[in-house]
Amino acid sequence: MSNESSVGPIHVLHVDDDSQFGELVEIYLERLDDRITVTPESDAQKALERIRTDSFDCIVSDYQMPEMDGIEFLNSVREDYPNLPFILFTGKGSEEIASEAINAGVTTYLQKNGTEVYELLVNEVQNVVSHQRSQHKAQVAQNRLLALYEQTDGFFIVDRDWTVVYWNQQMEQRSGQPSEDVIGEQIWETFPEAVGTELEEMYREAMETRKASEFETYFEPSGYWLEVRAYPYDDGLFVHSRDITSEKEDEKEIQRRNHILESFANTVSHDLRNPLNVAQGRLQLAQETGDFDHLEEVAQAHNRMRNLIDELLRVARGEELASSEVSLKENVEEAWETVSSKEMELVIEDDTVFEAHDSQLRRMFENLFWNALEHGKASTVRIGVLDGDDKGFFVEDDGVGIPVNQRQEVFNSGFSTADNSPGYGLSIVHGIVNTHGWDISITTSEADGARFEIQGVCSLTQDSTADADVDTAE
């Protein structure tokens, strides 16, 4: 017989006012399937009481009974047990009774007709109980899944017409829309802000192709990131979504820190070159001339390297650097000391005092000077205060200049027009300018070289030195 391996013990309540027939049904069913246990009952009203106190897997009932017929008994059962399998097993069969039974929610309908009907009855009992248990298991699994979704992620279901048929608690919290206002409504009308977004595009694709879709998207109207899984099913679409905004922010922070570490390594390797060159040059002079005064310059260069590393470590850790009032002229002159070239001249046209990170500003000038020397092939560098309403200063040279189409690209880390250059100098300059909240732009100097204009600097004083202060690199 069917379903023998898939159905466990079955407890059947048989209701028939003919007790002798009831006993016969009990004998046949239990003999044909030893997993079936039959409880006979001749009174429909008492049968209802039994259902409330005992547990049954299936009800088999006659139709024509005194006081309460099979349909009335079925209606009473369905009030409290809408899913309990109910087989109408009657000797009085007609289309009218069958139709009435179906309308009342009968599981199946079977006529008493000879001894072979008992095998049919056993099969029907096995089938309806197996189906009911399968549905119950599926419902339990679905309830557990939905309970999990209720506690964790957003989950909703739409039918093929995009009408919402399920909307869980997380979706209520995320959208601000309670389920009673959403269920039964078309999702695009309830959430017009989703129309035209990647969400709509991917949902429609999953619905049309009947293929599951997984993607991440930023939902701009609400300002959060979502990890979305859309699963088509026969009647529509399951959509599971998880707010991953915090994870994206963590990823962004990791990327930021990695960028800082990479920038730190590049900056250290690049900016240590200047004081290292000074130390090496002075040490060589001390060895060649025997003048140990040069060793004082070596010590200062070492101090500069140590201070530079400490400063860069603070920047990498995200610590704030203290600002102070600095003199443009003094800061430029200190930076110029690291330029080991006798072929380039420094001209300081003006002096001004402003708020800045002293050591960072010096690093900026050092990199601009080395850029003029190594890439610009300049012989003169001029420093001055910008005229008019432009608050700031300029650094210009008489070298080869920077082509217009490269004036933004040169600030990118790693960009260089020279094969043997790492391309970090102007990137460091750009970073220091940004740290101060200033702006930097590149134009052409009067001598057709490069001119860097740093704007947005709030000067406290300005002192024109004209040509009185002209420093020449030694």
- Give the model confidence (pLDDT) of 111-143 as tens digits: 887 778 889 999 999 999 998 888 888 777 777
* 3 state DSSP class of 27: helix
Site of tokens 């039959």: 38
Bridge partners of residue 60, in order along the sequence = 14, 87
Segment 97-107 mean pLDDT: 85
The fraction of the chain above a pLDDT of 70, given in percent, is 83
* Assigned token pair, 7: 């159905």
pTM of the model: 0.41
The pLDDT of residue 469 is 46
228-235: long-range contacts, CB 8 A cutoff, minimum separation 24: 228/199, 228/202, 230/202, 230/203, 230/206, 231/206, 232/206, 232/207, 235/159, 235/160
Name the strand (E) or helix (H) holding 98.
helix 95-104
**How far is 88 from 101, CA to CA, in rounded Å?**
8
Residue 65 contacts residue 15 (beta carbons within 8 Å):
yes
**How far is 105 from 103, CA to CA, in rounded Å?**
5
The pLDDT of residue 418 is 58
Residues in CB range of 182: below 8 A, 6 or more apart: 156, 164, 167, 171, 175, 190
Starting at the edge strand that comes first in sequence, how are the strands of the sheet with 213-219 ordered?
164-167, 154-159, 236-243, 224-233, 213-219
| Highest mean pLDDT, choosing among 164-178, 258-272, 407-421 | 164-178
**How far is 308 from 301, CA to CA, in rounded Å?**
10
pLDDT tens by residue, 61-83? 999 898 899 999 999 999 999 98
Bridge partners of residue 158, in order along the sequence = 164, 237
The pLDDT of residue 139 is 78
